[in-house]
């Protein structure tokens, strides 16, 4: 039984009005937001699915940005590689020009000057081409991972903009020694290309006959049998052999000194003209350099009387009368090196003696000879002799430093302090008769290689500040290594080591193991032989650039394809989420109209239902 005073019709109409109003509010919300699901209560399962789909779509949006960044980085790398190719093309032109026999040494120096500037610019571009701080050409960058999806394992791409291989660099390890049997006792070995085939050859002293021998290179680190150069010229005990283009014809020549001194002018095919004798005897130190800056090679010697002499070249393989003496050294001169040690534009001389002697620096005077009043005596050595003297900027301060090899198995290093002064002696246990400097481990710092003491040759790796690490032996089965030559004997752009084992007289070569690098290595265009060798380096660099640009293009193509796939995936995820979450505007609009009618009808019914009790009372009254 219904209680008195309860208007059932009003209550029903009110309920229907509330329902219609609520439905109208929800429809209005869906129409205004465009979403079918605006809260979890609208469709809990659908919201969960749609949220996951939208999340994946956002990740794909970021993936698209990632891939677009990669395309931009590759575009920068390709643009720079194109400029590098232009540089290499110009270097190839210069090398071909220098290899032509119609140019003089002075003209080749001008060609080499431009080439060295281009080499510096090439390496600068490699070092400074970056995207977001990442070097896109240097080999140290390695592969770059690109995130192109929302999983950790299967959504990664890799690009190699840094995989630019234009040259090789050493790894600090060596192959087993290669024998070129000749059974010759040699204390002095030098390398150069004497037959203009782009392959380095060797010239060796024959201590048994007092002559010198030529071994042509095979291009793989081995050498052909030896042939005598200038059989009529007997040098006695040969102390020094130097190579240079002394007559300006673009062909490498030889100057050898010992008890006698001779020049051997090359013919460019591995043969030589008749030796030219010089009035220089009992020579222990020998250097070839342009002493007076006239474009001609001059002769600087030190003899067993301790006298340093300078003979100016005539440009034809002969030298003028000795221009002056530097004064008497403390003992017989055993080694000599020439370079501008004080930055005044004039060449200076460092000389070393034989027995318990010192090394002395002689600075150039104002009259074209050596000054006797500004010598610097480096401290005395406790050794049986002084070996090679090397001049090189070891610590990057643009001043030549001094390295002196010693017979007691140590090298003395003196760092140039400027103002004609040098640091105190630093000792490194890798000395001997022959020494050389080269970067063998590809770290951009020169290493110290020595032979001439008991055992195999040794390498002390440089630290770049004028110091060196502990020497390491690298050739097993060698009892006494002498006659060290450090050069690229197999044409891979990295220095190798050639030496003689005094025990069996055989010549051996240890090739440096290599890895690729994006920097252009050292070269010279100052002679035809150097230019021919450099052409091989440039051809390899151009080939490396072509390969790199092809790889960049392939990466761009792949990433563009991946970008298209990611874009489609994003659109598909958004569409899938929209099918679940988006409102059906047509249906919702119809529902809006329906709910408005219901709301208005319910309101009218509610009004009528509220009047019904009054009508009943009127009838009763």
Reported confidence tier of residue 254, pLDDT bands at 50, 70, 90: very high
Give the residue-averaged pLDDT of 185-205.
Answer: 88
| Element containing residue 81 per DSSP (H, E) | helix 44-98
Residues 6+ apart with CB under 8 A from 347: 289, 291, 338, 339, 340, 364
Pairwise CA distance, residues 180 & 509, whole Å: 8
Residue with tokens 């020049």: 263
Per-residue pLDDT for 191 more than 90?
A: yes
Please write the tens of the pLDDT for every residue from 441-462. 888 788 999 887 667 788 899 9
Residue with tokens 């060796």: 204
- pLDDT at res. 192: 92
Pairwise CA distance, residues 246 & 291, whole Å: 13
- pLDDT at res. 167: 75
Helix axes 105-128, 44-98, angle to 10 degrees: 170
Helix (H, G, I), strand (E, B) or coil at 290: coil
Per-residue pLDDT for 315 more than 60?
A: yes
- pLDDT at res. 364: 86
DSSP annotation of 468:
B
- Name the nearest CA neighbour of 6 among 606, 604, 613, 602: 613
- Name the nearest CA neighbour of 190 among 493, 532, 523, 489: 489
Residue 227 structure tokens? 């042939």
- Candidate ranges 21-25, 75-79, 351-355, 408-412; pick with highest mean pLDDT: 75-79
Longest Cα–Cα distance of the chain, Å, equals 160
| Element containing residue 45 per DSSP (H, E) | helix 44-98
- Name the nearest CA neighbour of 196 among 533, 538, 535, 536: 533
Per-residue pLDDT for 182 more than 70?
A: no
Give 366 or 395, the one with higher predicted confidence: 395
Per-residue pLDDT for 326 more than 60?
A: no
Virtual torsion, Cα 60, 64, 69, 75, nearest 10 deg: 150
- pLDDT at res. 158: 66
CB 240 within 8 A of CB 283: yes
Per-residue pLDDT for 573 more than 60?
A: yes
Reported confidence tier of residue 365, pLDDT bands at 50, 70, 90: confident
Pairwise CA distance, residues 338 & 330, whole Å: 19
CB 582 within 8 A of CB 36: yes
Reported confidence tier of residue 137, pLDDT bands at 50, 70, 90: confident
Task: Give CA separation, 590 vs 196, 336, 585, in Å.
Answer: 93, 104, 9
Per-residue pLDDT for 9 more than 70?
A: no
pLDDT > 90: percent of the chain: 22
CB 179 within 8 A of CB 171: no
Give 318 or 616, the one with higher predicted confidence: 318
Virtual torsion, Cα 25, 31, 37, 42, nearest 10 deg: 20
Reported confidence tier of residue 384, pLDDT bands at 50, 70, 90: low
Helix (H, G, I), strand (E, B) or coil at 395: coil
- pLDDT at res. 33: 66
Per-residue pLDDT for 328 more than 80?
A: no
Helix (H, G, I), strand (E, B) or coil at 120: helix
Mean pLDDT of the chain: 82
- pLDDT at res. 381: 60
- Candidate ranges 263-277, 310-324, 469-483; pick with highest mean pLDDT: 263-277
- pLDDT at res. 611: 67
CB 497 within 8 A of CB 484: yes
- pLDDT at res. 91: 95
Pairwise CA distance, residues 541 & 532, whole Å: 15
Pairwise CA distance, residues 458 & 445, whole Å: 17
Residue 558 structure tokens? 């792949």
Give the residue-averaged pLDDT of 505-516.
Answer: 80
* 76 exposure class (CB count in 10 Å sphere: 0-12, 13-18, 19+): middle
- pLDDT at res. 465: 93
Please write the tens of the pLDDT for every residue from 212-244. 889 999 999 889 888 889 876 677 776 689 999
Beta bridge partners of 130: 135
Residues 6+ apart with CB under 8 A from 256: 205, 212, 235, 238, 240, 241, 242, 262, 264
Give 558 or 592, the one with higher predicted confidence: 558
Give 551 or 621, the one with higher predicted confidence: 551
- Candidate ranges 45-49, 106-110, 249-253; pick with highest mean pLDDT: 249-253
Per-residue pLDDT for 583 more than 50?
A: yes
Reported confidence tier of residue 580, pLDDT bands at 50, 70, 90: confident
DSSP annotation of 393:
-
The number of beta carbons lying within 10 Å of the beta carbon of residue 417 is: 12
Please write the tens of the pLDDT for every residue from 12-52. 767 777 777 777 777 776 667 667 777 766 677 876 787 77
Reported confidence tier of residue 492, pLDDT bands at 50, 70, 90: confident
Reported confidence tier of residue 1, pLDDT bands at 50, 70, 90: very low
Give the residue-averaged pLDDT of 256-270.
Answer: 92
- Name the nearest CA neighbour of 438 among 486, 471, 390, 389: 486
CA 496 to chain centroid: 18
Please write the tens of the pLDDT for every residue from 272-287. 999 999 988 899 899 9
Reported confidence tier of residue 58, pLDDT bands at 50, 70, 90: confident
| Element containing residue 241 per DSSP (H, E) | strand 240-244
pTM: 0.74
Give 357 or 43, the one with higher predicted confidence: 43
Q: Which segments within 141-218 are labelled E, that is strand? A: 144-147, 156-159, 167-174, 178-180, 189-192, 201-206, 211-215
Give the residue-averaged pLDDT of 352-356.
Answer: 70
Reported confidence tier of residue 65, pLDDT bands at 50, 70, 90: confident
Residue 27 structure tokens? 């429809």
pLDDT > 70: percent of the chain: 84
CB 521 within 8 A of CB 493: yes
Give the residue-averaged pLDDT of 328-351.
Answer: 86
Give the residue-averaged pLDDT of 340-355.
Answer: 86
Give 549 or 581, the one with higher predicted confidence: 549
Give the residue-averaged pLDDT of 535-541.
Answer: 87
**Sign, CA torsion 415/421/424/425:** positive
Strand order in the sheet with 276-278: 240-244, 253-257, 261-264, 276-278
Per-residue pLDDT for 199 more than 80?
A: yes
Residue with tokens 């020094």: 240
CB 184 within 8 A of CB 226: yes
């Amino acid at each position: 039984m219904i209680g008195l005073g309860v208007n059932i019709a009003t209550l029903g109409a009110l309920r229907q009005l509330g329902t219609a109003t609520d439905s109208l509010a929800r429809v209005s919300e869906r129409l205004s937001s465009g979403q079918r699901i605006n809260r979890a209560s609208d469709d809990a399962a659908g919201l969960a699915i749609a949220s996951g789909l939208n999340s994946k779509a956002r990740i794909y949006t970021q993936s698209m940005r990632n891939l677009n960044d990669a395309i931009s980085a590759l575009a920068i790398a390709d643009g720079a590689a194109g400029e590098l190719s232009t540089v290499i093309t110009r270097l190839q032109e210069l090398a071909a020009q220098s290899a032509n026999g119609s140019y003089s040494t002075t003209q080749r120096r001008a060609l080499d000057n431009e080439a060295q500037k281009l080499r510096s610019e090439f390496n600068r571009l490699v070092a400074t081409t970056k995207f977001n701080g990442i070097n896109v050409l240097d080999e140290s960058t390695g592969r770059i991972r690109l995130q192109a999806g929302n999983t950790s394992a299967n959504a990664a791409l890799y690009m190699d903009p840094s995989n630019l291989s234009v040259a090789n660099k050493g790894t600090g390890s060596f192959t087993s020694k290669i024998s070129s049997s000749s059974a010759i006792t040699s204390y002095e070995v030098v390398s150069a290309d004497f037959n203009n085939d782009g392959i380095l050859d060797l010239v060796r002293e024959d201590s048994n006959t007092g002559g010198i021998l030529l071994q042509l290179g095979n291009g793989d680190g081995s050498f052909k049998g030896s042939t005598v150069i200038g059989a009529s010229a007997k040098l006695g005990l040969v102390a020094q052999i130097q190579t240079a283009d002394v007559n300006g014809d673009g062909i490498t020549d030889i100057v050898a000194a010992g008890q006698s001194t001779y020049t051997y002018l090359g013919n460019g095919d591995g043969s030589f003209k008749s030796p030219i004798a010089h009035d220089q005897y009992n020579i222990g130190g020998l250097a070839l350099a342009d002493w007076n800056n006239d474009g001609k090679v001059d002769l600087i010697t030190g003899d067993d009387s301790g006298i340093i002499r300078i003979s100016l070249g005539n440009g034809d393989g002969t030298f003028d009368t000795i221009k002056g003496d530097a004064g008497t050294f403390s003992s017989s001169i055993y080694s000599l090196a020439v370079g501008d040690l004080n930055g005044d534009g004039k060449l200076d001389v460092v000389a070393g003696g034989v027995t318990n002697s010192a090394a002395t620096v002689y600075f150039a005077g104002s009259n074209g000879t050596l000054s006797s009043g500004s010598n610097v005596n480096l401290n005395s050595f406790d050794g049986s002799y002084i070996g090679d003297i090397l001049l090189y900027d070891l610590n990057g301060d643009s001043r030549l430093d001094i390295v002196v090899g010693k017979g007691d198995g140590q090298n003395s290093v003196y760092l140039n302090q400027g103002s004609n002064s040098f640091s105190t002696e630093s000792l490194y246990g890798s000395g001997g008769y022959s020494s050389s400097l080269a970067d063998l481990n590809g770290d951009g710092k020169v290493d110290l290689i020595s032979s001439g003491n008991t055992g195999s040759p040794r390498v002390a790796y440089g630290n770049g500040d004028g110091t060196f690490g502990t020497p390491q032996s690298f050739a097993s089965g060698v009892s006494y290594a002498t006659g060290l030559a450090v050069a690229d004997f197999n044409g891979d752009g990295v220095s190798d080591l050639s030496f003689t084992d005094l025990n069996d007289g055989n010549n051996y070569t240890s090739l440096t193991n290599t890895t690729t690098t994006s920097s252009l290595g050292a070269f010279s265009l100052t002679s035809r032989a150097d230019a021919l060798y450099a052409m091989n380096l440039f051809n390899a660099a151009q080939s490396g650039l072509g390969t790199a640009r092809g790889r960049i293009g392939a990466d761009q193509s792949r990433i563009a394809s991946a970008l298209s796939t990611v874009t489609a995936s994003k659109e598909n995820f958004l569409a899938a989420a929209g099918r679940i979450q988006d409102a059906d505007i047509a249906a919702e609009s119809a529902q809006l109209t329906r709910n408005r009618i219901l709301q208005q009808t319910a309101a009218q019914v509610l009004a009528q239902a509220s009047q019904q009790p009054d009508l009943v009372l009127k009838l009763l009254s």
